Amino acid sequence: MEETVPAWILIAVAVLLAVLLVVPAAVYAWTLVRPHRIRTEIEIGASPEEVWRVLADFAAYPEWNPFIVSAEGEPRAGARLTNRLSGGGNDMTFSPTVLAAVPGRELRWIGRFVMPGIVDGEHYFLIEDLGGGRSRFVQGETFTGALVPFAGRLLDVAGDFARMNAALKARAERMAR
């Protein structure tokens, strides 16, 4: 004797699947329109080349960087890095992919939590030539993904960026003398 599944069970399963698939997709799409952005900047009394020399010297990060306390890999597009962050009382290691590396101008990477679309962070460092041996250093990140609206304070790292900016400024200015 063949048993049929009641219609209400089929409807419940369809609704559950829709919620599990559609809601995260909708939240992800929303973060593409309204991402969580952080942007910090500082003026540095050193040329863009001198600032780049400090930024791209990953081996020296443990000596001066209070936020990205170690970085391994090469600053070149397509390279995979291994970065260890220290901020807000938490340490985290992640492996972003370098999207751009233009000496004296830009370093950009993307890091992902678990898989694309969950929490994606596109981190950037921009170096602007102000002339006269001075630079503006801009550090920022754009977060998108299904969990971004729920991450709250975990993504509020502007203070950590500012600490790194100040440390980079001190090191670049000391090396420029």
CATH of the domain at 53: 3.30.530.20
Q: Does some domain include residue 56?
A: yes
Domain of 81, in residue numbers: 35-176
Q: Does some domain include residue 77?
A: yes
**What pLDDT sits at residue 103?**
97
**What pLDDT sits at residue 88?**
66
**What pLDDT sits at residue 1?**
62
Return contacts of 79-84, CB within 8 angstroms, 24+ apart.
Answer: 81/109, 83/111
Q: Does some domain include residue 58?
A: yes
Q: Does some domain include residue 6?
A: no
Q: Does some domain include residue 102?
A: yes
Q: Does some domain include residue 149?
A: yes
Beta carbons of 141 and 124 less than 8 angstroms apart:
yes
**What pLDDT sits at residue 87?**
75
- Spans of the chain, pLDDT less than 70: 1, 88-89
Q: Does some domain include residue 136?
A: yes
